[in-house]
Amino acid sequence: MAPVKRNPDGWGWMLLALLLLLFSGCASSSMAAAKKPRPGAPNTLPPQWLRTELYLAAVDSSEWEAFLAERITRRFPAGFTVFDAYGQWRAPQGDIRRLSTKVVVIPHPPTHEAEQAIEAIRKEYCAAFNQSSVLRSTTPALVSF
């Protein structure tokens, strides 16, 4: 009977394959754990949230308060943020126009109902205050409560 030759390279390949299998199992379990949201962590699982900002030309404070209560609060009772801003834009005639602005920030899920409510607010603001448009900016948002 011939003596058995040991191939050191063969053991190396087997050891490497065993380590790769071991580490690939760790990676997949850590990836699965990463998909589960931690309490208080940003919501990264569907449904994703959106952040919509509406830029509304400032109006008389009593008119603003009434519009806010009747048109925005009733559509987004869960919450939103309003802050004062100052902006400028170039009119079609080429002149620069500066104006005080109210920015309404609404975090919301990407639903048809939210979309309709936001568009209704824009349309109603234009009609109520004789505005040609309301700037809207919507971006994906990571939300945590």
Average pLDDT over residues 88-112: 94
Share of the chain above pLDDT 90, in %: 61
Greatest extent of the chain over all pairs of C-alpha atoms, in Å: 104
Burial of 125 (0-12, 13-18, 19+ CB in 10 A): buried
Q: What is the pTM of this model?
A: 0.67
Domain coordinates in residue numbering, the chain: 7-36, 49-141
Q: What are phi and psi of 64, to 5 degrees?
A: -65, -45
CATH number for 49-141: choose from 3.40.50.1010, 1.10.3720.10, 3.30.70.120, 3.30.420.40. 3.30.70.120
H/E stretch holding 105 reads: strand 96-108
Average pLDDT over the chain, rounded to whole?
A: 81
Residues 128-139 have a mean pLDDT of 95
pLDDT at 19: 46
